[in-house]
Chains A and B, each alone.
Chain A
Amino acid sequence: MAESELVQRSRDGDQEAFGQLVLRYEQKVFNLAYRFTGNADDAQDLAQEAFVKAFFSLADFRGQAAFGTWLHRIVSNLCLDELRRRRRHHVISLDEAVATDEGEMERQVASNDDTPAEAVERRETQSRVQAAIATLDEEFRLALILCDIEGYSYNEIAHIMECPLNTVRSRIHRARKLLKERLQDRELFAPAVVKRLEGRESR
């Protein structure tokens, strides 16, 4: 069934139709929440909340944007709200996020074709990147995830984050510069750059 029809039916209260939309988008939505919060439990809570909220706000959705973009706006707002709430309550724990992340990574790496040594290195790199993302301020983090992980264009991100295009540009640029600095702090980046540049030259 076409997405627009599923949306239309969902708006009329058809929960089964909405279930189809959930299945289509749960991966993207969950992944965004996961990369933003850094752990699976929070990500699931946020993603669930976002879908429920979307269902009951469908009346506001007039098809001015793609359904996916509209849905991502809801998820993004929930992510930002949640973080603000948590900052007030001081329960943010980056260590915890990283620890959970490694658990997740372990599972994924098992299915990889890497040699064990490569798998370990890859896992380590990934959890460092995730930890570095977690240090970014939430707007920077969100813009970066929407761009580099979810693959949205600047225009779409401006729509999702409800901010001017220029702001998207400066947020992403700033996020990347900070990420580079922080990965350098962790002595991960510098050798990688060398390796990378050498690789490029020999190609």
Chain B
Amino acid sequence: MNCSQTRKLLSAYVDGELFGREAADVAAHVEACPSCQLEFHDLTLVKDMVGRLPQVPAPSSLYMGVMARLQETAAVSAESRQEHAFGAGPARATSRRPAWLRYWKTGVAAAAVAAFTFAWGMKLLPSPPPLVADGGNSTVPPEQTLPGIVQPPEESNPAPEPDTVASEPVTEPSGPIGTNPTVNPGDAPNVPVTNEPDVTPPAGDPPAEDAPDAEEPDFGSRFGTAGAELPGGDRLVAKTMHVALTAADAEAFAVSLADLAAAYGATMEPGDDSAIRLRVPINDFMSFIDSVRQLGVPDTFKSLKNTETDVTEAVRNLTAERDYLQKAFADGDESVQEDLQMKEARLAEYFRDIEHLTIEITVNSLGS
């Protein structure tokens, strides 16, 4: 047994999870090989360090909490059984689901959105699309590039066509719908505006991808060379914008919103507390927001807060992990296949968050 065969089995050996021939072979090799011996000691030490973490006592409120929940739930389910027996109203479980979700699940939008997401996720890793179509300041937040400027979607993006918006007279996404100061995310107090608008990307014409960087192939090709010029370096940021508005009819609003989202190639899913979460390609979000605003009752649109999450570290770790697993898989270790696929899917999810602006819309209905 050579070093690399031994190394793969060392953790299992440390755990006493090797048996028979395998155990004997590893033991013999470790005995004879100083470097594997050191590795064995290291792994043993790591195991000890983790194992020596103290037990944190369970709080007494845990038991109480569980028992209270059991009693509560038992009471509720008895009640709902009774309701059912007398035919008094719908089951509780379904009544909490927002109306728009039912539409969305069955609607045309769903298919378009799913296809978009799927295709995008699949091609993401081998040949990623440019982060944004400006080829340069890829991680410059939209708030920085677009204060006060409404950008119509560019030709390279699925152009929203008013015709596709069924029977709702309110959507005119591609028109320059003026900048309402209350809508402009650049006005939000917690978003620093550090760049001048002169970094506004030229329309269309994304430059060809550079050849992969020698040192960090995936990372480098993905984020280009211009990232280094940014303040803060290669910072990857996922942005979420929380907005609220009032709609005359929440369900009709959701239907229009689903159409609008489909026209923009945005994804739509349930958010927190019956909010609607959308991911909009970052270049189009200003005109998208404006269109959303007009779907609601006038002057009820509020930008609540913007949040930014730096995911640089997470993506870096995940990329390294993916590369490691890829190599292991290429070397014939099939046990890592499942994990490899998982990492790739997770990376795709991160990039989706980076390349889109997430908008959480809380809809208040006039009717309720």
- With beta carbons under 8 angstroms apart, the residue of A29, A90, A144, A170 that contacts B335 is A170
Chain B: CB-nearest residue to A45:
B65
Q: Is the CB of A176 within 8 A of B11?
A: yes
Chain A: CB-nearest residue to B47:
A148
Q: Is the CB of A48 within 8 A of B62?
A: yes
- With beta carbons under 8 angstroms apart, the residue of A108, A137, A148, A163 that contacts B338 is A163
Give every chain A residue within 8 A of B71 (Cβ-Cβ): 15
Chain B: CB-nearest residue to A29:
B58
Chain A: CB-nearest residue to B61:
A44
- Tally of chain B residues near chain A (CB < 8 A): 58
Chain A residues 19-47 with CB under 8 Å of chain B are 19, 22-23, 26-27, 29-31, 34-35, 40, 43-44, 47
Give every chain A residue within 8 A of B57 (Cβ-Cβ): 27
Give every chain A residue within 8 A of B324 (Cβ-Cβ): 174
Q: Is the CB of B45 within 8 A of A167?
A: no
Q: How far is the CA of A130 from the CA of B56 in the complex (A)?
A: 12
Give every chain A residue within 8 A of B43 (Cβ-Cβ): 176-177, 180
Give every chain A residue within 8 A of B50 (Cβ-Cβ): 129, 133, 144-145, 148-149, 179
Tell me how far the C-beta of B20 lies from the nearest C-beta in chain A, rounded to whole angstroms.
15
Tell me which of A1-9, A49-57, A59-67, A68-76 binds B: A49-57
Q: How far is the CA of A193 from the CA of B63 in the complex (A)?
A: 41
Once A89-B272, A108-B56, A125-B49 are accepted as A-B contacts, the answer to whether A15 and B339 lie under 8 Å apart by CB is: no
Interface string of B93-123 (1 = CB under 8 A from A): 0000000000000000000000000000000
Chain B: CB-nearest residue to A139:
B339
- Is B28 in contact with chain A by the CB < 8 A criterion? no
- Is A120 in contact with chain B by the CB < 8 A criterion? no
Q: How far is the CA of A18 from the CA of B321 in the complex (A)?
A: 41
Q: Is the CB of A137 within 8 A of B10?
A: no
Interface of A (DSSP majority class): helix
- Is B70 in contact with chain A by the CB < 8 A criterion? yes
Tell me how far the C-beta of A23 lies from the nearest C-beta in chain B, rounded to whole angstroms.
6
Chain A residues 95-113 with CB under 8 Å of chain B are 104-105, 108
Give every chain B residue within 8 A of A192 (Cβ-Cβ): 45
Give every chain B residue within 8 A of A183 (Cβ-Cβ): 46, 49
Once A108-B54, A139-B342 are accepted as A-B contacts, the answer to whether A51 and B8 lie under 8 Å apart by CB is: no
Q: Is the CB of A197 within 8 A of B41?
A: yes
Give every chain A residue within 8 A of B336 (Cβ-Cβ): 167, 170
Q: Is the CB of B339 within 8 A of A22?
A: no
Give every chain A residue within 8 A of B307 (Cβ-Cβ): 90
Tell me how far the C-beta of B235 lies from the nearest C-beta in chain A, rounded to whole angstroms.
14
Interface string of B333-352 (1 = CB under 8 A from A): 11110110011001001000
Q: Is the CB of A126 within 8 A of B62?
A: no
Tell me how far the C-beta of A33 lies from the nearest C-beta in chain B, rounded to whole angstroms.
9
Tell me how far the C-beta of A37 lies from the nearest C-beta in chain B, rounded to whole angstroms.
11
- Is B74 in contact with chain A by the CB < 8 A criterion? yes
- With beta carbons under 8 angstroms apart, the residue of B12, B56, B67, B334 that contacts A30 is B56
Once A15-B71, A31-B55, A148-B51 are accepted as A-B contacts, the answer to whether A173 and B12 lie under 8 Å apart by CB is: yes
Chain B: CB-nearest residue to A94:
B313
Tell me how far the C-beta of A165 lies from the nearest C-beta in chain B, rounded to whole angstroms.
9
Give every chain A residue within 8 A of B216 (Cβ-Cβ): none
Give every chain A residue within 8 A of B51 (Cβ-Cβ): 148-149
Q: How far is the CA of A44 from the CA of B52 in the complex (A)?
A: 21
- Is A166 in contact with chain B by the CB < 8 A criterion? yes
Give every chain B residue within 8 A of A48 (Cβ-Cβ): 62, 65-66, 69
Chain A residues 77-105 with CB under 8 Å of chain B are 87-90, 104-105
20 A-B residue pairings within 8 Å (CB atoms): A15-B67, A22-B62, A26-B63, A31-B58, A44-B61, A48-B65, A87-B349, A90-B309, A90-B353, A137-B343, A167-B338, A169-B12, A173-B8, A173-B11, A176-B11, A179-B46, A183-B49, A193-B45, A196-B41, A196-B45
Closest 5 CB pairs of A and B: A166-B335, A173-B11, A30-B58, A90-B309, A148-B50
10 new A-B contacts, CB < 8 A, other than A40-B56, A193-B42, A200-B41, are A26-B62, A31-B56, A34-B56, A90-B240, A126-B52, A135-B317, A166-B334, A167-B335, A172-B15, A177-B11
